[in-house]
Amino acid sequence: MFFRQFRVEGLGCYSYLIGCPGAGVACVVDPERFVDHYIDTAQSNEMRITHIFDTHLHADHLTGSVELAERTGGRIHVHPGVQAEYDHCPLAEGDRFRFGSAGIQVLETPGHTPNSVTLCLTDHSRSDEVMLLLTGDLLFVGDIGRPDLAGEDMLEEQVRNLYHSLYEKLGQFPDWTEVYPAHGEGSLCGKGMSAKSMSTLGFERRHNPLLNAMDFQRFREIMLADFQLRPPNFIAIVDKNRTPATRLTGLTEPRKLAAPQVEEAREHGAVLVDIRPATAFGAAFIPGALNIGLAPASANWLGTVVDAGRELVLIAHDEVDVRHAVKQFRRVGYDRIIGYIDRGVSTWAAAGKPLEHLPQLSVQSLKHVLEKYPDHLLLDVRTEEEWRTGHVTRARHKPVSRLLREGIDIRPERHITLVCSSGYRSNIAGSYLKAHGYRHVFSLIGGMTAWENFHRYTTEPSGVKGMDPTPPNK
């Protein structure tokens, strides 16, 4: 049996190529949108891709199933609850497939979505027992799938389904059964995932708190508590994944734009997305641009800030970064990337166009500012969990996800320094505030990591306090 796992960094997506070189056939499970690596790997191992499976209707990335089917002739298989509008075969409990020595049996395991399945894989060259489970987004390494993506009206039902799938459906398999999920660290489909790419049922039953013989009432309480951010583009991705529109065929590549063309695009509603590092953006940026950067998680943050239907213009150091960003952003549904401007903002500046800046403060500079100006607002944009582990006593707290969704009730003339853990999210928040009329905005270089490390090696008090109920001040 041939078995290979693929990972998309940043999104934390796992997909699988499974087959038998001796029989010359293979299948792909949960393919990402860019499918060349599946085709190349299959061909180099003398296999033809005949079947394509999606374990559920994905919300965080566009599936490559339609693209892969068109390029290989493989047949797509999904649960009928997906309500797919493309050519496919429906999956049902007990369905069996054979790829030489590799055998797959379908297990319906709703909970993360109503249409989720687990694929039970057997290597018949060794045994007729199930060797491993492709659990989709039901069971992760260190976590389980969130049940809220199907909507508030289905949440109670989904929680019951999730518990039943985890404890009853997976309960029939022994501890040594291997677990291969559809997502890992970096995905927004869970919140406590391990960086490890696989596990066993026995290890998860011992060390995954949500699979450790928990009674339903306690499970329900945890599942109905707050969920982490669900980016607005999740809805657009779900809708698109039901259609053939996920194919890449026909998409035009973004073109290089001159300053007047960028200005015209902005006037017609295009969003300027600056993918340069925080310090470069802080030094000078085109007014109204949002600093998403080019980190592994940039696609997730773009989904939080910008509607998936908007046209985008990228601002980058060079064309290499543009190509990398286009691939990242198209994975999560941003197909209207109409153009880019490279060489940073020098092209814009050379045309005589105005620039903005987002000053980047060092820890020492921020200490001086806070001591000299009592009215200076320190706004911590980290998560609730990060805030509780320790924060500057004087800080006000509003997670960046809420800030981007709700805005903030602060006078536009107020001086504000934003802080996160490293400086990445504070620049996103800073560019958002600058675009919304806040004139005196700063970002802390290195974030709370830099703040704590500076004070660790000095005798000055850090002013960091955990669980501090500091009241908000305007």
CB 169, CB 117: distance < 8 Å: no
- pLDDT above 90: residue 154: no
Provide the b/e sequence for 249-278 (b: ≥16 CB within 10 Å): eeeeebeebebeebbebbeeebbbbbbbbb
Q: Which of 74-78, 115-119, 370-374 has the lowest mean pLDDT?
A: 370-374
At 472 the pLDDT is 39
pLDDT tens, residue by residue, 349-367: 999 999 999 999 999 999 9
As a whole-number percent, the residues of the chain with pLDDT over 70 amount to 93
pLDDT tens, residue by residue, 12-65: 899 999 999 999 999 999 999 999 999 999 999 999 999 999 999 999 999 999
E-only strand ranges, 205-332: 255-256, 271-274, 290-291, 312-315
pLDDT bracket for residue 465 (50, 70, 90): low
Average pLDDT of the residues of the chain: 91
Of the candidates 1, 6, 61, which has an alpha carbon nearest to the alpha carbon of residue 241?
61
pLDDT tens, residue by residue, 290-324: 999 998 889 988 988 888 889 999 999 999 999 99
Q: Which helix (H) or strand (E) holds 117?
A: strand 117-123
pLDDT bracket for residue 455 (50, 70, 90): confident
At 462 the pLDDT is 60
pLDDT bracket for residue 470 (50, 70, 90): very low
Question: What is the three-class DSSP state of 381?
Answer: coil
462: burial class by Cβ within 10 Å (0-12, 13-18, 19+)? middle
The token pair at 81 is 């609850």
Domains detected in the chain: 2-232 (3.60.15.10), 251-350 (3.40.250.10), 360-465 (3.40.250.10)
pLDDT bracket for residue 188 (50, 70, 90): low
pLDDT tens, residue by residue, 386-415: 899 999 989 999 998 889 888 899 999 999
CB 145, CB 137: distance < 8 Å: yes
- pLDDT above 60: residue 471: no
What separation in angstroms does the CA of 412 have from each of 60, 70, 400, 435, 437?
34, 52, 18, 11, 6
pLDDT tens, residue by residue, 261-286: 999 999 999 999 999 998 899 999 99
Separation of alpha carbons 341 and 343, rounded Å = 7
At 440 the pLDDT is 95
Q: How far is CA 271 from the centre of its chain?
A: 20
Provide the b/e sequence for 194-228 (b: ≥16 CB within 10 Å): beeeebbbebbbeebebbeebeeeebbeebeeeeb
- What number of other Cβ atoms are within 10 A of residue 461's Cβ? 7
Strands 102-108 and 96-99 turn out to be antiparallel
Separation of alpha carbons 229 and 195, rounded Å = 20
The token pair at 381 is 């944009």
The token pair at 74 is 């493989």
Report the predicted TM-score, pTM, of the whole model to 2 decimal places: 0.89
Please give the span between the terminal C-alpha atoms of the chain, in angstroms, as a whole number.
Answer: 63
pLDDT tens, residue by residue, 81-138: 999 999 999 999 999 999 999 999 999 999 988 999 999 999 999 999 999 999 999 9
- pLDDT above 90: residue 230: no
At 227 the pLDDT is 64
Residue where the block lists tokens 């809805």: 235
At 473 the pLDDT is 39
At 119 the pLDDT is 98
Decide which of 12 and 69 is more confident.
69
At 354 the pLDDT is 92
At 152 the pLDDT is 72
CB 83, CB 72: distance < 8 Å: no
What separation in angstroms does the CA of 243 have from each of 56, 247, 354?
14, 9, 43
